[in-house]
Amino acid sequence: MAIIALFVLGALLAPLIATHDPNQTDFVGRFLPSSRNHPLGTDHVGRDVFARILHGGRLSLGMALTATAGITAVGIVLGLAAAFSGRLVETLIMRTVDVLLAMPTLILALVIVGLLGQGLRNLIITIILVQWPRYARLVRGMALKVRERDFVEAGRAAGAGKTRLIVRHILPNLIGPVVVFSTIDMGTTLLAVSGLSFLGFGVAPPTPEWGAMLSEARFQIDRAPLLLVFPGAAITLVVLAFNLAGDGLRDLLDPRTRSVQLSRRERREARRPARPEPAAGRKQARAARQTA
């Protein structure tokens, strides 16, 4: 969580932290090494790499967050619709999910973004269209299990309608697993955003974005390999941080995981050898036994 907070704060405060314009070129100061004025050096046209990393984080993290929110919303709506709207709607939605999941994700994304065209909005729409089937399948499966529980049956017997049952009883029990899955999937979404930008389907240059920075730096790998390292390291650290954060949320929200951890701790404490009693304690215990 600390890594995520650090990158988010850096992205939000980029105009205050960075002392250079991320798009300002300086052909005299090309490929400068790290210095006090340029902490991460400059690129092939003299732009400050540190400023571009910070401002690029605003776009990369913002697109990943927006796409994940859209994927989650579409997946929840369609998953609940498949679970509660009858056989025809369920068959239509789930067969669509099966077809989309059977297709290679990258090829499907390239086809969609090629039809929609380059741009920030089209990139987010493409990622939503490609990744919503996994969420819909997850939500449908959990909803089918929750609707068979006693409190749902009690609400149905009390006269609650389908909408009230979903909003008051079923949806709150799905939020925890969906939030965990979305947190872990943020890393996958960030990789998708950066990958499509790397291939030229994201934001137009010279707008700073981590995937686009990697695409520009690959032509300078012989002269300045660090231009590839900095945005690549930022993507790697953020993806790893979201994966670890998702695991932590799962352990926090899942009572079964907590019970397993507690039982393991109790077993470790049971196997731990008992501490020897102090000399005074042994004398008192011996005196008590003799008195008895």
Q: Where are the domains of the chain?
A: 2-271
Where does the pLDDT of residue 260 fall: very low under 50, low under 70, confident under 90, or very high at 90 and above?
Answer: very low
Give the chain's end-to-end CA distance (angstroms, integer): 59
Domain 2-271 has CATH 1.10.357.10: no
Integer CA distances (angstroms), 46 to 25, 27, 29, 30, 118, in order:
5, 5, 5, 4, 26
Where does the pLDDT of residue 168 fall: very low under 50, low under 70, confident under 90, or very high at 90 and above?
Answer: confident
pLDDT of residue 95: 93
CA distance 242 to 65: 11
pLDDT of residue 258: 52
pTM: 0.81
